[in-house]
């Protein structure tokens, strides 16, 4: 997780961001390139928020909220500890521009936390941390929201139209990155479950073979004995099979 230190300036990106005509578009291209570089998801997202922070100097802090498999919200990366504090208030109280963006799929802007009356506790914490304006940008693709890009400025109306244009053009690529990460995590979890199930089936087959040899019965009778033992002891079939295999030194049972 990022701390309160400023990101190291990228001279090319900083220069591009200050050019009035091409700065934002070219900086956006540089930021999109970060998403395509190899590396873990957290390092990619950290590169994005650092890049946004550099490309848009008036932003005081940037963070990204991701949605867990269970629907919980977590700040994946941030450029400033103050953003983490504000984000956490939103999660705890379930209110604020970030949460609203996540739940509605619509971008939310707070031009001045001192006068906006929608999310009082959020405004209070943002002001306490030195922020006067904020935004929650929904990161969505294919009709589903996977996270939010959170922007904070230390001046009122600090998130201007050019900043909004930049993040709007970046958001789809960032949303796709989060969606792909979610799909990969799901596939990895299913693969692990399948691998475990295949191991369990192998142990069941071993246990049936052991019972056939010990009792002189066929596979159907051995399977019936296994089920009866599991029922009698009120234990899962896999556990009973593993105990039988372990008793005769079966390798798969460990």
Least confident of 9-23, 60-74, 102-116, 197-211: 9-23
State in words which class domain 194-247 has. Answer: mainly alpha
- Tens digits of per-residue pLDDT, 44-63? 788 778 878 887 888 999 99
CATH superfamily of the domain spanning 11-187:
GAF domain (3.30.450.40)
Least confident of 69-83, 94-108, 172-186: 172-186
pTM of the model: 0.61
The answer to whether 33 and 47 have CB atoms below 8 angstroms apart is no
Q: Quote the CA–CA distance of 224 and 216 in Å, as a whole number.
A: 14
Comma-separated ranges of CATH 3.30.450.40 domains in the chain? 11-187
How many CB atoms are located within 10 Å of the residue 19 CB?
Answer: 12
Comma-separated ranges of CATH 1.10.10.10 domains in the chain? 194-247
Per-residue pLDDT band for 12 (boundaries 50, 70, 90) equals: very low
SS (H, E, C) 228-249: HHHHHHCCCHHHHHHHHHHHCC
**E strands present in 101-246:** 108-110, 133-141, 144-153
Per-residue pLDDT band for 120 (boundaries 50, 70, 90) equals: very high
């Amino acid at each position: 997780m990022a701390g309160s230190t400023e990101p190291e300036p990228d001279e090319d990106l900083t220069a591009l961001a200050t050019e009035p005509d091409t700065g934002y578009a070219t900086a956006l291209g540089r930021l999109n390139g970060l998403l395509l570089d190899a590396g873990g998801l957290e390092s990619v997202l950290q590169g994005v928020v650092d890049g946004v922070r550099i490309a848009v100097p008036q932003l005081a802090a940037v963070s990204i909220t991701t949605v867990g498999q269970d629907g919980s919200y977590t700040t994946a990366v941030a450029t400033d500890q103050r953003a983490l504090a504000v984000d956490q208030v939103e999660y705890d109280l379930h209110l604020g521009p970030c949460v609203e963006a996540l739940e509605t799929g619509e971008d939310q802007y707070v031009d001045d936390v001192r006068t906006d009356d929608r999310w009082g506790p959020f405004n209070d914490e943002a002001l306490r941390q030195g922020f006067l304006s904020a935004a929650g940008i929904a990161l969505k693709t294919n009709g589903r929201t996977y996270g939010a890009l959170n922007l904070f400025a230390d001046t009122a109306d600090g998130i201007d139209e050019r900043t909004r244009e930049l993040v709007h053009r970046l958001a789809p690529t960032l949303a796709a990155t989060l969606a792909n990460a979610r799909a990969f995590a799901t596939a990895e979890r299913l693969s692990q479950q399948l691998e475990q199930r295949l191991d369990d089936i192998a142990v069941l087959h071993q246990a049936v073979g052991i019972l056939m040899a010990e009792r002189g019965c066929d596979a159907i009778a051995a399977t019936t004995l296994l089920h009866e033992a599991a029922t009698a002891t009120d234990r899962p079939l896999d556990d009973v099979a593993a105990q039988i295999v372990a008793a005769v030194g079966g390798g798969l049972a460990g």
